[in-house]
Amino acid sequence: MRPLIWTFLAVSSLAPNSVAAQEDAFFLLSGAQLECLAQNAAQYLTSTDHTLFIKPGDCGSEQTGKTLSFIEMTLNAAPNIEIVEDRETPDEIVVFTREDFLCITDQVLPEAADLVAFYPQGCRLVVRAP
């Protein structure tokens, strides 16, 4: 009986940390990329997928509105997944849900921002650089 209690305590003590980690997850975008994604949300939302893999750098080109399949993303542009606190470049690939697009279209976007952190959990935008 005791090992079961210790296992429960160990697992339950991890829960707040993983929830906090999810709430702190963000995508780093340039102000222009974020504005382009918001302005073209309807084109991206024509996809039937709930989760959309997007190259923000393609927004504003003939690729606007196109999403990557999970297989394309994995085979052709596998992201370098790492946690970096002081990043200064926009993410090459972002993963937006339909709700994320609805969120950014309802936000007042910063006018002159080089980098903006988009926190999907809580639908927040934080200017990272002027």
pLDDT in tens, 67-113: 776 555 555 554 555 555 556 888 988 999 999 999 999 988 887 67
Enumerate the domain spans of the chain: 24-129
Residue 8: pLDDT over 80: no
CB atoms within 10 A of CB 90: 19
Distance separating alpha carbons of residues 6 and 19, to the nearest angstrom: 21
CA torsion 109-112-114-119 (nearest 10°) is: -20
Distance separating alpha carbons of residues 77 and 68, to the nearest angstrom: 10
pLDDT in tens, 10-52: 444 444 444 445 558 899 999 889 999 998 888 888 888 888 8
Q: Of 2, 3, 25, 17, which Cα lies nearest the Cα of 123?
A: 25
- One DSSP character per residue, 33-97 reads HHHHHHHTHHHHTTSS-SEEEE-GGGTTSTTTT--B-HHHHHHH--------SS--S--S-EEEE
The band of 130, judged by pLDDT with boundaries at 50, 70 and 90, is: low
Q: Of 109, 108, 100, 111, which Cα lies nearest the Cα of 27?
A: 100
Assign 28 to helix, strand or coil.
strand
CB atoms within 10 A of CB 37: 25
DSSP code at position 14: H
